[in-house]
């Protein structure tokens, strides 16, 4: 089984010949076995603590093959409002429950959960369900770790 073991920096050469469509949870795992659309199994063996992003490139050192990471669409709950105080309150309550959260102007997204949806509705927000790639906030220290592992 081919193993991708190195995260390439943006300036590193290498055209991807494989696309790895991974969920948010899969992109956070150091060790993973994935089946490609053609049925071939490949493995990831990466440093612990690394969180892959959509567009990252990985190298299989044994073969020189390069893979591109693609954020897989997931079932998300989405709240949207132009009321910044209401949006901040929702972000606070979701964060207080340690929910992975994507924060965008006027919008919050999180893995679909009917209990959390009810809480957001009680706050006065409308909640929709959408199938989208999920790239939540990395956290206060995660970006530094991600950058350090990339050699920046």
Range of the domain at 40: 2-71
Unique residue bearing structure tokens 């050699």: 151
11 and 58 belong to one structural domain: yes
Does residue 31 share a domain with residue 87? no
Which tokens go with 40? Answer: 């071939």
79, 127 contact by CB (below 8 A): yes
Q: Is the pLDDT of residue 142 over 70?
A: no
Question: SS3 for 24-66, per residue?
Answer: HHHHCCCEEEEECCCCCEEEEECCCCCCCCCCCEEEECCCCEE
Structure-model confidence comparison of residues 115 and 150, the more confident one = 115
Whether pTM > 0.95 for this model: the answer is: no
At 105-137, the pLDDT tens digits run: 999 999 999 999 999 999 999 999 999 999 999
Q: How do residues 30-50 score in pLDDT, each as one tens digit?
A: 999 999 888 889 999 999 888
CB 19 within 8 A of CB 68: yes
Average pLDDT value for residue range 66-82: 97
Residue 152: the pLDDT is 36
Q: Is 112 among the domain residues? A: yes
Asked whether residue 15 falls in the same domain as residue 59, the answer is: yes
- What integer is the mean pLDDT of 71-93? 97
Give the Å distances, CA to CA, from 4 to 59, 104, 132, 144, 148.
5, 32, 25, 22, 19
On whether both 29 and 88 belong to a single domain, the answer is no
Two tokens at 8?
A: 């390439």
Give the burial class of 21: count Cβ atoms within 10 A of its Cβ; 0-12 exposed, 13-18 middle, 19 or more buried.
middle
Tens of pLDDT, residue by residue over 45-63, are 999 888 899 999 999 988 9
pLDDT at 145 over 60: no
């Amino acid at each position: 089984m081919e193993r991708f073991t190195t995260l390439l920096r943006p300036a590193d050469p290498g055209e991807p010949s494989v696309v790895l469509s991974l969920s948010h949870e899969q992109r956070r795992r150091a060790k993973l076995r994935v089946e490609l659309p053609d049925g071939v199994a490949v493995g990831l063996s990466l440093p612990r603590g690394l969180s892959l992003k959509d567009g990252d490139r990985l190298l299989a050192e044994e073969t020189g093959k390069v893979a591109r990471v693609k954020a897989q669409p997931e079932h998300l709950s989405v709240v949207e409002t132009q009321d910044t105080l209401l949006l901040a309150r929702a972000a606070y309550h979701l964060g207080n429950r340690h929910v992975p959260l994507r924060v965008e102007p006027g919008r919050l997204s999180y893995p679909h959960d009917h209990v959390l949806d009810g809480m957001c509705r009680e706050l006065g927000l409308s909640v929709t369900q959408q199938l989208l790639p999920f790239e939540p906030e990395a956290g206060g220290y995660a970006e530094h770790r991600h950058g350090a592992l990339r050699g920046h």
